[in-house]
Structure 1
Amino acid sequence: MPSFSSPRRGLLASVLLMAATGCSLALDTEPAQCGSDADCERFGTYPVCQEGVCVPSGLGPTGCFRGNASSEEQFLNQCTLAECVPFDNCARLGLCNPGEALPDLIPRP
């Protein structure tokens, strides 16, 4: 059975040590991603810091004003959680075919 010489054992030990610690040297091992909402600004789209992690706030649209508005422009451009939901009124009423005649009007009571 071949035996390892002392220099080879030292080299093997150092390679194993580098392999074991290599990931921790390349990765951010900080336990908290953020300490305040300002730390999350680098991600854009207005994330907030919750329990040390940046999470999406749902605020929009892009470029909106965050904070307490002090002018009319800021007030009109405030961020919101509202969503735009498309609605097809034509399909709901069944009047989408331009060639068809409109239905009769409902008589007054």
Structure 2
Amino acid sequence: MTNTFPPLRADPDRVVFDRQELGVILSVYGRFVAAGEWRDYAMSFLRDVAVFSVFRRATEHPLYRIEKRPRLRDAQGVYAVIAMDGRVLKRGHDLRQVLKVLERKLIRAID
């Protein structure tokens, strides 16, 4: 039997997280799961933005959205962490630095 599936190719019409970016995001996500704060996630890859949403429960609205918007590269920065109410908690060019806003919340949750 032959493989009838076409080879996987990047879709130039969508923004995606690369392997390194997903590694950084999933590292933070894993620490929150271990602390019992987060239980689910979802990813969306759209034309202008890639979104990693985190949930306390799968049936709720996302607690936070981690967004990648390449068009903001020359302005505020490619990455942003956005709260459930739509507030931008942190924006910047370095994903690790942007995600530190969540790390502070983890430290408070464990205390």
What is the TM-score of this pair, normalised by structure 1? 0.27
What is the TM-score of this pair, normalised by structure 2? 0.27
Higher-Rg member (1/2):
1
User: Which structure has more RCO (C-alpha within 8 Å, separation ≥ 6)?
Assistant: 2
Higher strand share: 2
